[in-house]
Structure 1
Amino acid sequence: MVKLAAKCILAGDPAVGKTALAQIFRSDGAHFQKNYTLELFIFDSAGKELFSEMLDKLWESPNVLCLVYDVTSEQSFSNCSKWLEKARSQAPGTSLPGVLVGNKTDLTGRRVVETAQAQAWALGQGLECFETSVKEMENYEAPFHCLAKRFHQLYREKVEVFHALV
């Protein structure tokens, strides 16, 4: 059995639900064909500029990215481009698989970021788009399963390239 490990950066503004999302997500691993297991090491960021120097060290060489915004905050959505740029700068020359996660969908009356708007932006950035309500425990696993599958796919592609060289 092959056991893979991926460094997952959890990024976004303060109070969008990053830590809650990380805490609610528990799994024994994502199992793939041929008994592959992938373990995600989730690095939760504080979301404040005050900690930017520490982030540079923690964010070094990520394998996957989970961008989180609050669907009731246009500012948190707008700042995703800043977080994406910062994460990609830590993985130069690589394809950094990622997902965009709109959290707090249970606050329907306060929603300001529409699903279509987020999907269009994510598509333009090469990200998969998800919405969740950690409070209601809705759809919180899907983004991480997507990241695991994307990382596994990159692994398989690298193995195929290696075998072609041998």
Structure 2
Amino acid sequence: MTQKEKTTKPLLKMLLIGNSQVGKSCLLKMFCDHEFSFDVISTVGVDFRNMEREFDGETVKVQIWDTAGQEKFRTITSNYYRNAQGVAVIYDVTNEASFNQVNVWFEEIKKNAPEYISTVLLGNKVDLEDERVITKEQGENLTKQYNCQYFEVSAKSGVNVETAFNTLMDSSYEKFKKFGKPKTTTPLKFQKGKEKKKSIC
């Protein structure tokens, strides 16, 4: 066995999708860095973070892709559903428009992702309880329609963030064991001005 074969790890790819300003980048920062920042700017195209996780004694490389929510970037981000194993659909509990778009994002998953993909629905910004316009019951009702798990989270306080991300990773890996092992990592190709590699989390 060559040194390259020894160091090559399976790859698990996850996506964060949802309208702009729902807090996707802040959730990813909280999960990876355990901190919140008001200075996070809107994602342009696609960003990602790397980490390693052990499943059943096997070390797996996990890439979590943070996609732009603006309509003009849909043609770019739609390409990243292919070969993904997990998707988190995120809305803002203080923003009714972002909740109303959840069905559009699930249609994107249906159209572009493998049919065995794992999904979770996340209602973000529950720390802003006084500004909430979407109830927990409304979020839970959507999960019945799309057959996925639901978590109310806060990128600011960190509530339920680790639980939600770990649940999605575990579910994604379990399905991948059933439908096929994760592909090995390959060099990533970037479109100039569209993607930027983030630090390891």
Structure 2 residue aligned with 1:59: 81
Q: Say which is worse superposed, 21-30 or 101-110, in terms of deviation.
A: 21-30
- Which residue is equivalent to 2:178? 157
- Structure 1 CA distance for aligned equivalents of residues 31 and 129 of structure 2: 23
- Greater RCO, 1 or 2 (C-alpha within 8 Å, sep 6+): 2
Segments of 5+ residues of structure 1 without an aligned counterpart are: 160-166
Q: Are 2:49 and 1:43 aligned?
A: no
Superposition TM-score, scaled by structure 1 size: 0.85
The 5-angstrom pairing of residues 13-24 of structure 1 reads 13-24=19-30
Inter-partner Cα distance in structure 2 for 1:105 and 1:49: 25
Match of 2:90 in 1: 68
How far does residue 125 in structure 1 lie from its aligned partner after superposition? 0.2
The answer to whether the 8 A contact 1:7-1:62 is kept is yes
Q: How big is each residue's C-alpha offset from its partner over 1:110-142, in whole Å with a ceiling of 9 and x where there is no partner?
A: 111111110111122011100111111211111
Aligned AA (1:6)? L
My pick for the range that moved more, 100-109 or 49-58, is 49-58
Q: Give the percent of matched residue pairs that are identical in Structure 1 and Structure 2.
A: 29
* Structure 2: segments with no counterpart, 5+ residues: 1-5, 34-50, 181-201
Among candidates 108, 114, 118, match of residue 86 of structure 1? 108
1:32 aligns with 2:38: no
Partner of 1:121: 142
Asked if residue 104 in structure 1 is aligned to residue 110 in structure 2, the reply is no
Corresponding pairs, count? 158
1:91 to partner: Cα distance: 1.9
The residue that corresponds to 1:162 in the other structure is none
**CA-based RMSD:** 2.2
The answer as to 2:161 corresponding to 1:140 is yes
* Aligned partner of residue 130 in structure 1, secondary structure: strand
TM-score (ref. length: structure 2): 0.71
Deviation per CA, 1:84-104: give whole Å up to 9, x if none: 111221125x21210001110
Contact in 2 for aligned 1:6/1:63 (Cα 8 Å): yes
Q: Return the offset for 1:147.
A: 1.2
Give the corresponding residue for 2:194: none
